[in-house]
């Protein structure tokens, strides 16, 4: 196992062999050498897929195939367009997975438009049309890529997979590529989804970081659309993205921008499916998409366009939810981060790269100044005259060093063998035409430039801010925000479909449902659940049925509200009981009870009532003919509770209102409940 795999997964612990019973003459082991081999190979494969294929690197924000593509373009960059097929072939020297994966990754990277300039048909993000064959399309690096992500002097290289070439370990990118491009990848047990962000906003946020000010960032998608990022949670949550829909006239809506992750074909298919399911009343669809999305939806006169727009967002791909989970490779290990952490890391890395560039520039300027000073001294002090009498190369070198020895304080560093060889290679014509004033001016210029570099090194943060502002001035206008940030009003699918189904009751045959004729009970949504109650105390929760047999003992069918307070009066044995209750949680399609087995419900309601009016049957033994029971202060019980006794007398009428023939003169004292 490689050191990187040990870092990622740890050592494989050796296991004791457990010999299994012999069956067919073969020796099988549960944890033997084969198991160890499988474990070792699987870990090697898993580590490879995680680090070298699926998950981007935190440092330069690229997956290996993207890095190799960009490096191949850099190696072959002469300012002219290059056939994609040629780049694919060159990249295969570094990438061991064939041309198809390289071509697909190149097209995807080119369609982001940051680093690869396209020529030809690279497909269409809106329609999902594929790119033309690699031999017919061309590409080259953009100025942004040339200037901001390459520097061979600061790049570490390793041998390619076959050892014939050198490829970069990471590119010294000075811009936050990871958050610019976004990334998706599925590895062994790990996946990542990083949403793309706006280039200008990222650099402005880096300036805020350097100024130690707060900042916020939200995704930006190339397809545009509208976005609600209230639940984005700095890259740990999700965003809602909607199509941009406009009213063309009283009967037509036009989709101008589509959500990311969809195409016009998939969007239209979802709209047609919603129309078939009755969610939208649609007359026709016309797709005029070319460079920009344009889908016309024509509705019948009776369709309200505002309601239709809400239905499009609720039941089609006109609104999609996109989750974000940021996993990256940091120090050869997968780690989970958020957007702010990544941008702060990128800003710290930017400072380190700028510092290395300044230090390298200072060394180059110092070397140039050293060389020019040597030439001036060599010519001005006529040191070349001292080598005329020398007989050997060693004597020549010694004479030059001896001639320069009094002036070492004017030099930037010690004299090397190469310095002497350079002086000896100066042609006579250059010595005879040497311009001392010009040389002195050039040295003064170099001194000023070295001073500027030293100043920038001493104030690295202000230098980085100036650098970022310069990049924004140069490229910012090319990358405006495409996805507009807004807040969506929540769309309730239940509200949109509240009257979609009409539940009818065929009393004669004992069926209820939305596909039968009969007495209309209620209108409901397919998302609702119905509570059905029978006279014998049974109850059941069901989805709105097409056709359901309930017999002729049905007494209640309404949309379920598990917290709603209901009242029931039922007879059981020789007593009449009353209770107020809530149904609570019920398992769908399973019968439960609101009254004990053997009960007969005399009164049931889901409305608030202050009192019950009870009239008893005529009986010589009963002196009180009518009573009023106050129920508003009765406690609310559970569905399974028995309830207190209302009366032991046989009841003729019970209700929340007086019967039409109620006689107040016959009303007895207020009734009292007796707990069982």
pTM for the predicted model, two decimal places: 0.77
Joined tokens for residue 21:
């019973």
Helices 84-91, 64-75: inter-axial angle, 10-degree rounding? 110
CATH topology for 5-188?
Topoisomerase II; domain 5 (3.90.199)
Q: What are phi and psi of 286, to 5 degrees?
A: -125, 130
Give yes or no for a contact between 360 and 153, defined as CB atoms under 8 angstroms apart.
yes
pLDDT, tens digit, for every residue of 97-120?
Answer: 889 999 999 999 999 999 999 999
> In this predicted structure, what is the pLDDT of residue 620?
77
Joined tokens for residue 644:
């207190």
**How far is residue 381's CA from residue 170's CA, in Å, rounded to a whole number?**
48
Joined tokens for residue 33:
């050498």
Cα dihedral across residues 68, 71, 75, 80: positive or negative: positive
Residue whose pair of structure tokens reads 């090194």 in the numeric block: 457
**How far is residue 150's CA from residue 171's CA, in Å, rounded to a whole number?**
6
Give yes or no for a contact between 298 and 285, defined as CB atoms under 8 angstroms apart.
yes
User: In CATH, what number does 238-323 get?
Assistant: 3.30.1360.40
Residue 172 neighbours by CB under 8 Å, 6+ apart: 60, 149, 150, 151, 154, 155, 353, 356
Give yes or no for a contact between 487 and 506, defined as CB atoms under 8 angstroms apart.
no
Residue 23, helix vs strand vs coil: coil
Element (H, E) at 571: strand 566-572
**How far is residue 672's CA from residue 592's CA, in Å, rounded to a whole number?**
29
Residue 562, helix vs strand vs coil: coil
> In this predicted structure, what is the pLDDT of residue 10?
46
User: Does the annotation mark 136 as catalytic?
Assistant: yes
CA dihedral 267, 269, 272, 273 (to 10 degrees): -110
Give yes or no for a contact between 612 and 564, defined as CB atoms under 8 angstroms apart.
no
**How far is residue 660's CA from residue 70's CA, in Å, rounded to a whole number?**
90
Identify which of 254, 244, 311 has the alpha carbon closest to the alpha carbon of residue 281.
311
Joined tokens for residue 399:
């004479």
Task: Please count the other Cβ atoms lying within 10 Å of the Cβ belonging to residue 376.
Answer: 18
Local structure of residue 332 (DSSP, 8 states): T
List, run by run, the mean pLDDT of 10-residue segments along the chain (676 residues).
46 38 45 77 80 89 95 95 96 91 95 95 93 96 95 93 93 96 90 95 96 95 94 95 94 95 94 90 92 94 89 93 94 93 96 96 91 83 79 84 84 85 77 76 90 94 96 95 89 77 92 92 91 94 94 92 93 92 91 93 91 87 86 90 90 87 77 72
CA 50 → CA 189, 329, 331, 546, distances in Å? 9, 8, 13, 50
Domain ranges of the chain: 5-188, 238-323, 351-478, 561-666
Residue count (the chain): 676
pLDDT, tens digit, for every residue of 234-263?
Answer: 999 999 999 999 999 999 999 999 999 999
25 conformational bin, left if phi > 0, alpha if psi -120 to 50, beta if neither: left
**How far is residue 325's CA from residue 339's CA, in Å, rounded to a whole number?**
10
Residue 552, helix vs strand vs coil: coil
CATH topology for 351-478?
Topoisomerase; domain 3 (1.10.268)
Question: Which candidate in 45, 48, 136, 161 is catalytic?
Answer: 136
> In this predicted structure, what is the pLDDT of residue 676?
60
> In this predicted structure, what is the pLDDT of residue 19?
39
> In this predicted structure, what is the pLDDT of residue 11?
41
Residue 137 neighbours by CB under 8 Å, 6+ apart: 83, 84, 118, 119, 120, 121, 122, 131
């Amino acid at each position: 196992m490689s050191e990187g795999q040990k870092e990622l997964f740890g050592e494989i612990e050796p296991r004791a062999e457990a010999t299994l019973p012999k069956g067919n003459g073969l020796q099988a082991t549960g944890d033997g050498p084969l198991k160890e081999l499988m474990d070792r190979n699987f870990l090697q494969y898993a580590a490879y897929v995680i680090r070298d294929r699926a998950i981007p690197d935190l440092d330069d924000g690229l997956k290996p195939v993207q890095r190799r593509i960009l490096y191949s373009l850099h190696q072959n960059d002469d300012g002219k367009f290059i056939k994609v097929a040629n780049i694919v072939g060159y990249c295969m020297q570094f990438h061991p997975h064939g041309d198809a994966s390289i071509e697909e990754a190149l097209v995807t990277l080119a369609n982001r438009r940051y680093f690869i300039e396209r020529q030809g048909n690279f497909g269409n993000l809106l329609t999902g049309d594929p790119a033309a064959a690699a031999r017919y399309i061309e590409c080259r690096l953009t100025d942004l890529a040339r200037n901001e992500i390459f520097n061979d002097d600061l790049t570490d290289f390793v041998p390619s997979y076959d050892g014939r070439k050198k490829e970069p370990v990471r590119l010294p990118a000075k811009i936050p590529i990871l958050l610019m491009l976004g990334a998706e990848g599925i590895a062994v047990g790990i996946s990542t989804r990083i949403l793309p962000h706006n280039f200008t906003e990222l650099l402005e946020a880096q300036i805020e970081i350097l100024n130690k000010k707060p900042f916020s960032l939200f995704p930006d998608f190339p397809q545009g659309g509208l976005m609600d990022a209230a639940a984005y949670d700095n890259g740990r949550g999700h965003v809602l993205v909607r199509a941009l829909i406009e009213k063309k006239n009283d009967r037509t809506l036009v989709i101008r921008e589509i959500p990311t992750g969809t195409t016009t074909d998939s969007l239209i298919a979802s709209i047609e499916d919603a129309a078939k399911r009755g969610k939208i009343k649609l007359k026709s669809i016309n797709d005029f998409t070319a460079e920009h999305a344009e889908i016309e939806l024509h509705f019948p006169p009776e369709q309200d366009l505002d309601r239709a727009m809400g239905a499009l967002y609720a039941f089609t791909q006109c609104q999609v939810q996109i989750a974000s989970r940021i996993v990256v490779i940091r120090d050869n290990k997968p780690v989970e981060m958020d957007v702010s952490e990544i941008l702060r890391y990128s800003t710290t890395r930017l400072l380190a790269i700028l510092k290395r560039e300044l230090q390298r520039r200072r060394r180059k300027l110092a070397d140039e100044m050293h060389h020019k000073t040597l030439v001036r001294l060599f010519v001005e002090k006529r040191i070349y005259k001292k080598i005329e009498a020398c007989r050997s190369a060693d004597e020549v070198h010694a004479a030059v060093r001896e001639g320069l020895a009094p002036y070492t304080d004017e030099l930037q560093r010690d004299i090397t063998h190469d310095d002497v060889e350079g002086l000896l290679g100066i042609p006579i014509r250059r010595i005879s035409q040497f311009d001392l004033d010009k040389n002195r001016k050039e040295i003064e210029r170099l001194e000023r430039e070295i001073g500027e570099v030293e100043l920038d090194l001493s104030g690295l943060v202000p230098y980085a801010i100036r650098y970022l502002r310069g990049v924004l001035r140069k490229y910012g206008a090319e990358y405006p925000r495409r996805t507009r940030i807004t807040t969506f009003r929540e769309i309730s699918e239940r509200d949109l479909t509240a009257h979609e189904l009409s539940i009818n009751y065929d009393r004669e045959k004992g069926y209820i449902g939305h596909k039968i004729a009969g007495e209309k009970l209620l209108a409901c949504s397919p998302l609702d659940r119905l509570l059905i109650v029978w006279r014998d105390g049974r109850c059941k929760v069901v989805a709105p049925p097409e056709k359901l047999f309930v017999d002729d003992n049905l007494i209640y069918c309404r949309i379920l509200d598990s917290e709603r307070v209901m009242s029931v009066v039922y007879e059981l044995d020789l007593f009449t009981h009353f209770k107020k209750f809530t149904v609570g949680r019920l398992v769908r399609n399973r019968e439960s009870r609101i009254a004990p087995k053997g009960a007969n419900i005399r009164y049931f309601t889901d409305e608030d009532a202050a009192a019950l009016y009870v009239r008893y049957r005529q009986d010589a033994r009963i002196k009180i003919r009518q009573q009023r029971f106050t129920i508003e202060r009765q406690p609310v019980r559970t569905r399974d509770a028995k309830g207190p006794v209302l009366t032991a007398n046989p009841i003729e009428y019970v209700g929340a209102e007086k019967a039409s023939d109620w006689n107040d003169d016959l009303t007895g004292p207020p009734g009292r409940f007796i707990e069982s």
